[in-house]
Amino acid sequence: MARHPVNPIIFTTTELRRNLTAIVQKIRRRREPAIIQSGGESVAVLLPMSEYESFLKYQRLTTFDKFARNLGRAVEKSGLTEEQLMEELEETKREVFREKYGDLK
């Protein structure tokens, strides 16, 4: 993910309401997030689209990594060999295919 600036762009909700177009242009131009404050408290962040897409990619990779690690632990606990696991996965894949598309014979 991209580094966050030392001096982030900060806007109040009032400024945002009054100057949305100019604020969006500034975020696009600077390619940095902007912090939105209300009552002196940071309440939201506006991100350039590229930053948001990077965040989503990171989130998906983190979720997949966690899933893979949990699956690995569960397989180890069950005592399955890698070959047995692969056979079970292939059979499950065939079952799901049959449920979705029926037998193609």
Condensed to tens digits (0 to 9), the pLDDT of residues 45-88 reads 999 999 999 999 999 999 999 999 998 899 889 888 888 989 99
pTM comes to 0.60
Q: Does domain 9-47 have CATH number 3.40.1620?
A: yes
Contact yes or no for 34/10 (Cβ under 8 A): yes
Give the start-to-end residue ranges of the domains of the chain: 9-47, 52-100
| 9: phi then psi, degrees, rounded to nearest 5 | -75, 130
